[in-house]
Amino acid sequence: MIPNVLSIAGTDPSGGAGIQADLKAFSALGAYGMAVTTALVAQSTQGVERILHLPADFVAAQIDTLFADVRVDAVKIGMIDTAEVASVVAERLRHHGAGPIVLDPVMVAKSGDRLLMDDAIAVVRSELLPLATLITPNLPEAAVLLEAAPADTVDGMGEVARALRQLGPRNVLVKGGHLAEEHSPDVLLAGETLTVLPARRIRTANTHGTGCTLSAAVAALLPQRPSMIAAVADAKAYLTSALQASDALDVGRGHGPVHHFHALWATQGQEHMPT
């Protein structure tokens, strides 16, 4: 059965991050994608120009309308920009018994623009983290959630994962892309098992939406894989390949997107419509 997977996040008109990236990742990995919009973001590969904050009751209406009609097999939560929206998302997902839930605590865009208002951080910490099956912070996001300095070693990432789980999520994936190392390891705490997931660091400027894509990939794969570690490992492999193929795209003059459909589209110079 094809899983129905929901993204709750903000938009990205350039298509590299946010809901647009999530829907691409869902589709590439065999899931039917759905979306609830939390904010309308005027952004490109070069940065964020403006954010239109949607009323919390309208976000709730989107969630309720969807759950009243469609079976939802997994949920990915991305950009939650205000405390009111964070609270209502948590409340409505609890009401509908949604799960599994992958929470990507998006705080800063690749361009450096803030995406999360200060008063929303406490609500994300107190209401959304305990609801999550998995959270996927990078090192700066983990530091904000823990109100501590960022980890700078793989061992430190393990300690961060254990500290974050004390805040309520059942599993924690700490992403190591900010480490000053040749490779880009992530650390997964699933149950009591701590696993280091190594990966080579892809040398490319096309890193827009990598966090969105990874968390969306995990959400798409959780209903299709036998375990959390299998879903995360396959999602990480998918992202690595999407980064490696990203130079085939020519999108924008800033941080370009990853190639979500690298395995589905024909190679460059051939037809680009799948048969």
| pTM, rounded to two decimals | 0.93
Is residue 175 flagged as an active site residue?
Answer: yes
- The tokens describing 93, both together, are 């997902």
Q: Report the pLDDT value the prediction gives residue 213, as an integer from 0 to 100.
A: 98
- The tokens describing 272, both together, are 């680009």
Q: Report the pLDDT value the prediction gives residue 274, as an integer from 0 to 100.
A: 42
DSSP H or E stretch at residue 186: strand 186-190
Question: Are the C-beta atoms of residues 110 and 207 closer than 8 Å to each other?
Answer: yes
How many of the other CB atoms lie within 10 Å of CB of 199? Answer: 17
Q: Which residue has the higher pLDDT, 208 or 106?
A: 208
Question: Are the C-beta atoms of residues 225 and 239 closer than 8 Å to each other?
Answer: no
Beta bridge partners of 8: 36, 77
Is residue 82 flagged as an active site residue?
Answer: no
Question: Are the C-beta atoms of residues 34 and 6 closer than 8 Å to each other?
Answer: yes
- The tokens describing 137, both together, are 């912070």
Is residue 209 flagged as an active site residue?
Answer: yes
Please give the CATH superfamily to which domain 4-248 belongs.
Ribokinase (3.40.1190.20)
100-105: average pLDDT: 97
Task: Tell me the DSSP string of 97-163.
Answer: T--SEEE----B-TTS-B-S-HHHHHHIIIIIGGG-SEE--BHHHHHHHHTSPPP-SHHHHHHHHHH
Q: Report the pLDDT value the prediction gives residue 114, as an integer from 0 to 100.
A: 58
6-19: average pLDDT: 97
Mean residue pLDDT of the chain comes to 91
140-144, 236-240, 257-261: which range is least confident on average? 140-144
Q: Report the pLDDT value the prediction gives residue 266, as an integer from 0 to 100.
A: 61
Confidence band, pLDDT 50/70/90 cuts, at residue 180:
low
Q: Report the pLDDT value the prediction gives residue 111, as an integer from 0 to 100.
A: 54
Is residue 212 flagged as an active site residue?
Answer: yes
Say how far apart CA 260 and CA 14 lie, in whole Å.
13
167-184: average pLDDT: 86
* Per-residue pLDDT tens digits for 20-39: 999 999 999 999 999 999 99
* Per-residue pLDDT tens digits for 113-148: 556 777 888 999 999 999 999 999 999 899 989 999
* Per-residue pLDDT tens digits for 40-90: 999 999 989 999 999 999 999 999 999 999 999 999 999 998 999 999 999
Confidence band, pLDDT 50/70/90 cuts, at residue 176:
confident
Residue 47's SS3 state is strand
Strands of the 193-197 sheet, one edge to the other: 47-53, 32-44, 4-10, 74-77, 101-103, 134-135, 171-175, 186-190, 193-197
Confidence band, pLDDT 50/70/90 cuts, at residue 178:
confident
Q: Report the pLDDT value the prediction gives residue 270, as an integer from 0 to 100.
A: 47
Residue 267 predicted with pLDDT over 70: no
Q: Which residue has the higher pLDDT, 267 or 262?
A: 262
Q: Report the pLDDT value the prediction gives residue 200, as an integer from 0 to 100.
A: 82
Which entry of 110, 209, 213, 256 is annotated as an active-site residue?
209
2-11, 114-123, 161-170, 189-198: which range is least confident on average? 114-123
Which entry of 82, 133, 136, 210 is annotated as an active-site residue?
210
Residue spans of the domains in the chain: they are 4-248
Which entry of 158, 176, 211, 256 is annotated as an active-site residue?
211
167-194: average pLDDT: 89
Question: Are the C-beta atoms of residues 152 and 180 closer than 8 Å to each other?
Answer: yes
Say how far apart CA 249 and CA 204 lie, in whole Å.
12
206-220: average pLDDT: 96
Is residue 211 flagged as an active site residue?
Answer: yes
Confidence band, pLDDT 50/70/90 cuts, at residue 209:
very high
**Quick one: 253 exposed, middle or buried, by C-beta within 10 A (0-12, 13-18, 19+)?**
exposed
Confidence band, pLDDT 50/70/90 cuts, at residue 108:
low
Q: Report the pLDDT value the prediction gives residue 46, as an integer from 0 to 100.
A: 92
Is residue 236 flagged as an active site residue?
Answer: no
3-state helix, strand, coil in the chain (%, to 5): 40, 20, 40
Which entry of 15, 212, 236, 256 is annotated as an active-site residue?
212
